[in-house]
A = this chain, B = another copy of it.
């Protein structure tokens, strides 16, 4: 859920009117001045300041009708980059928190679940991944996880917002250490342009660690983007793309799955995990493979436990394991009805 790497797909898609109401994420500040204007006087720039109790809360507007608030111990950083408002604060219960344009991106306490799953779900599903691309992911957390794989020879990352990288290096050293790996090649720029200029078949795996596919990033669920991703993968290469909550966005997920099934001739799957500070407490992933050697995302053929040094590389693995991959792919009765998730 990082950066705003994918800004312009060169396709005419983004239209607020087309976003279903359940997906219309409230953007607190400074994207929508109307939201700001409607805020209660105590909610300042997405912050709920309880002056009577001398407590301050970061009020994360998630989806219409609900919000999650974290108590703020101290604001550490607040600045506007070329692309977005970047905010870092120390919370009382989830460690340091990164917020972009008013939307919570990660907390120190639960980032492990997201970063480990989005990286190892694809990388453990193919043998000896060598060339990996990360789109977005400017905090470095996904890089940290990808670099656990000793087979990997090069990791390209394309992040549009340098401020996110700098802020992560300053405030989130446990994530930014991902940049220290000599195999990492950083490209600061637009992810769509980057992927458009990528030679066909270059990568074994691509991980899209982007903003939510609503509002400005709605293009992420559009066909042209997935077509470019598929083209950049080798036969039997894998894509892992952040794919929202099964509790809140069944139709959006179904749309993504349908689009991916048209484009990816290998397999297309959905998986999810628990992340307390994300909307509805879960986050999903869409996993796809291109035509070529068969990829079965249900069974990690490259189990992390057998990758030399992987469990302790730079930082111990905290969340992911092979069993979790097998199980997280399963979904519940309800969602199976709405989404054909096989």
Residue ranges of A at the interface with B (Cβ–Cβ < 8 Å): 22, 38-43, 50-53, 57, 63-71, 91-94, 109-110, 112-113, 245, 247, 272, 274-276, 278-282, 317-321, 323-324, 326-328, 330, 332-334, 336
Known: A67-B69, A110-B247, A281-B282. 17 other contacts (CB 8 A): A22-B93, A38-B53, A39-B53, A43-B50, A57-B67, A64-B92, A65-B91, A113-B332, A247-B276, A274-B281, A281-B281, A318-B334, A319-B334, A321-B333, A323-B330, A324-B330, A324-B332
Are B42 and A40 closer than 8 Å at their CB atoms? yes
Is B327 within 8 A of A326, CB to CB?
yes
Q: Are A93 and B113 in contact (CB under 8 A)?
A: no
A64 to B93, CA, bound (A): 7
CA distance A318 to B334 in the complex (A): 5
**Chain B proximity of A64: nearest CB distance (Å):** 6
Q: CA–CA, A245 to B113, complex, Å?
A: 15
- Given the complex, which residues of B lie within 8 Å of A321, measured CB to CB? 332-333, 336
The reply to whether B71 and A68 form a contact with Cβ atoms under 8 Å apart is no
Q: List 30 A-B contacts (CB under 8 A).
A: A38-B52, A39-B50, A39-B52, A40-B50, A40-B52, A40-B53, A42-B42, A57-B67, A64-B71, A64-B92, A64-B93, A65-B91, A65-B93, A66-B68, A66-B69, A66-B94, A109-B247, A112-B334, A245-B276, A247-B276, A276-B279, A278-B281, A281-B281, A317-B333, A319-B332, A320-B333, A324-B330, A326-B327, A327-B327, A327-B328
- With a CB–CB cut-off of 8 A, which chain B residues contact A40? 42, 50-53
Instruction: Report the bound CA distance from A43 to B110 in whole Å.
Output: 28
Residues of B within 8 A of A66 (CB): 68-71, 93-94
Q: Could you tell me the distance between the alpha carbons of A326 and B336 in the complex, rounded to whole angstroms?
A: 17
The 10 A-B residue pairs with the shortest CB-CB distance, nearest first, are A281-B281, A65-B93, A327-B327, A276-B280, A65-B92, A40-B50, A38-B53, A65-B71, A67-B69, A318-B334
Across-interface contacts of A247 in B (CB, < 8 A):
109-110, 274, 276
- Within the complex, the shortest CB–CB distance from A181 to chain B, in Å, comes to 21
Question: Which chain B residues lie closer than 8 Å to A93 at the CB level?
Answer: 22, 63-66
**Complex Cα gap A278–B68 (Å):** 12
Chain B residues near A71: list those with CB within 8 A.
64-66
Q: Which of B64, B94, B245, B280 contacts A65 (CB 8 A)?
A: B94
Rounded to whole Å, the gap between the CB of A9 and the closest CB of chain B is 30
Bound Cα distance A280, B279 (Å): 10
